[in-house]
Amino acid sequence: MNGLDSVPASSRQAAARTPAPLFGRQQWAIALFVVGAGMLLQLLPLLVLERREQSLIPRIVFWVLELPTLIAALTLVYRWALLRRLTTLTTVLMSVTIAVALGSALSALTLFLVTAIQGPGSVLTPSGRPASYLGVTLFGGIFGLFHCGLWALAFVYPAAVEDRRLRAAEADKLRLEAEALRTTAELSRLRSQLEPHFLLNTLNAIAGLVTQDPREARRLLACLGELLGDTLQADGDTQTFGREVAWLKGYASILESRFTGSLRFEWDVATNVQQVLLPRLLLQPILENAVTHGALKRGGPGLVRLSASRQMRDGSPVLVCTVEDDGPGFDPAVTREGGIGLPAARRRLALWSADASFDIRSTGDGTRVVIELPWKA
């Protein structure tokens, strides 16, 4: 019935969205390619330029030990950092530390293993001397750092790009959705202002009055024409209180005529509030509510009274507007009785200004809605 209450589920989920996965199918391909290329780049100079096969064995042992361990460890840390929402700097520092530590430890392990299998002196430095544990650890740390860079390039960078793309798409979707919502709200508001049944019933009343009371029929036609013209022509979401009240008076006058003998309106609008701005036809559903759930439920002549004045709250001026009826009242907590008009009006008011207030008091003697909104002129 109204577009306001149905917020699409996707926009609610947006806040809890997950980042792009590190291990999508495409990501794996990129990662394999980058890691493979990195290793080839390291191996090529050894094979082509130096031709020292025996230094190849410890290096391959080191890579077999270090690369999978490091990539797994860094990925886990990255995941954990995302979940904990750690800052970029913390994440980078942690990754680098872990890479250096793992590289050092595993290169030491490699030296130990190769020495144990092939005998002492089987691992040589590039200058041909047997490698020391200190040198190998240093070498391992540097390689750890290098592999960390490789990992970032292979896994994190594609994921980050993908994430950015998804985010942009999502933002676009949200923006479109918000626009659609605004349009729907606008349309449903226009529709509710002059809903078809109001129109049909008013036309029926005029058809009857044509013979019974031609002057009244002509007057209602003029009123209806003004309401329609205003609804069809007016643009924007804002209008002056003076125009708002003029519209409401035409609307009320039609209802008064249709419910002759059962409904009466009273207006008490201060002269200095004519120029203040408020959301267009904010008061219409409130007035309608006072009629259908208030004055006409009385079982006798009912009264709806609208008053408005400029008042001061904490040193700044506000518009105070009251709509009251003398009906049997209702429980504002039960939305069925309040209809959809009141919650929608309350929401519009809240969107209009955070300092605005909306208060409903309903007793057995009537209902009173008081609205306060900051002075905008």
Residues that bind other proteins (CB under 8 A): 196-197, 200-201, 203-209, 211-213, 216, 257-262, 291-292, 296-299
140 or 294, CB closer to other proteins?
294
- Smaller CB separation from other proteins, 177 or 216: 216
Closest to other proteins by CB, 208 vs 225, is 208
Q: How far is the CB of 188 from other proteins (least distance, A)?
A: 18
Helical (H) or strand (E) element with 318: strand 316-325
- Which is nearer to other proteins, 149 or 339 (by Cβ)? 339
Least distance to other proteins from the beta carbon of 202, Å? 9
Query: Which residue's CB is nearer to other proteins, number 137 or number 202?
Result: 202
- Pick the closer one to other proteins by CB: 236 or 261: 261
Name residue, tokens 């394999």. 32
Instruction: List, in sequence order, the alpha helices (H) in the chain.
Output: 9-13, 25-45, 56-83, 88-118, 133-151, 157-193, 196-212, 214-233, 241-258, 284-292, 335-338, 341-352
Residues near 362 by beta carbon (within 8 Å), at least 6 away in sequence:
329, 330, 331, 332, 368
CB of 211 to other proteins, least distance (A): 6
CB 102 within 8 A of CB 39: no
Least Å from the CB of residue 295 to other proteins: 9
DSSP 3-state assignment of 281?
A: coil
Nearer to other proteins, 105 or 296 (CB): 296
Rounded-to-integer distance, Cα 115 and Cα 128, Å: 16
C-beta atoms surrounding 207 within 10 Å: 11
State the minimum distance, in angstroms, from the CB of residue 207 to other proteins: 5
Enclosing H/E stretch for 265: strand 263-269
| CA-closest candidate to residue 66, choices 145, 152, 119 | 145
Instruction: Please state the closest distance from residue 300 (CB atom) to other proteins, in A.
Output: 9
In the complex, what is the shortest distance from the CB of residue 299 to other proteins, in angstroms, rounded to a whole number? 6
**Least distance from C-beta 215 to other proteins, angstroms?**
13
Give 243 or 298: the residue with its C-beta nearer to other proteins. Answer: 298
Given a contact cutoff of 8 angstroms between Cβ atoms, the answer to whether 148 and 10 are in contact is no
Q: Is 33 helix (H, G, I), strand (E, B) or coil?
A: helix
Count of other CB atoms within 10 angstroms of residue 25: 7
* Nearest residue to 92 (alpha-carbon basis) of 145, 137, 139, 39: 145
